[in-house]
Amino acid sequence: MGASATERFHDKVVLITGASSGIGEELAVQLAQAGARLTLAARRTDRLDQVRQRIIALGAAEPLIVACDVTRDEDPPRAVAETLAHWGRLDIVIANAGFGVVGAFAKLSVEDYRRQFETNVFGVLRTLHAALPEILRSHGQLVIVGSVAGWTASPGASAYAMSKFAVRALANAITPELALLGVRVTLISPGFVESNIRRVDNQGQLHAEAAEPLPRWLVMSRGNAVQHMLRAISRGQREVIITGHGRLFVLLERFFPWLLRAAARRMAATRGSYRSEPKSG
């Protein structure tokens, strides 16, 4: 992130959901180093406190930490209220909280899909709705962390892809609406980035000891990815695709979708789990 991008965040008040680990934690650290005033929100306050101590050790301003479960209607408004009480305003909201439900369609229940949407879709909506009045006052910015899975879906990831297609549609719809009111919307669509999302099970529980299932060469480091993200946010870009393979997948989806469909058929055919019998009951 260049000097001009860093300067744009100086003294800005930023609320980040899902800030206890992964991309959210790295966003917090880099924004703190850029001089932002932070509210860090997540379910795990013990992890948030570790992030706070890390930021203090860097010599940056101490962030406010707030317990916030984005699946609870009352939590995002409370996070916004505590931000205003502590910092006096709100300039940027980053709706980052999310996880991935995975598995063959025949093995997933409607409840699995509902749980996925409660966090990844309605959690984003709760966050944006809670913050919007203050963002309108500050002529600030709403940032949504989506995914390349919002462009192209793959076997075994139907619930996650559905949720990310939904937030991409949301961003596309509200961007021109809110532009008329002086508010910018930025959608961040990462590919494979170093994070804990692949260590979180279908119930949303973290398994920190689990190994990264993807080869190291395919996964972009958090630090590098967040630099790209913050550059896009500082420029007010409508959407940024993070990682080279992510941009390739989006390119193929837009211009050569048949290639991805063929690859998906081959993937499904070679994984026995997709050929299981539907569960009853």
- Per residue in 124-141, pLDDT tens? 999 999 999 999 999 999
Looking at the domain 3-274, which fold is it? Rossmann fold (3.40.50)
- The token pair that represents 44 in the structure block: 């795990």
pLDDT score at 202: 56
pLDDT score at 106: 93
Distance CA 276, CA 281 (A): 16
Nearest to 182 by CA among 134, 125, 115, 215: 134
pLDDT score at 129: 98
pLDDT score at 269: 67
Query: Which residues, given as ranges, of the chain have pLDDT below 70?
Result: 1-6, 195-218, 260, 264, 267-281
- Residue pair 94/26 in contact (Cβ under 8 Å)? The answer is no
pLDDT score at 135: 98
State the DSSP H helix or E strand holding residue 93, giving kind and residue range, or none if neither. Answer: strand 92-95
The residues annotated with a catalytic role in the active site are: 160
**Phi and psi angles of residue 164, each rounded to the nearest 5 degrees, phi first:** -80, -30
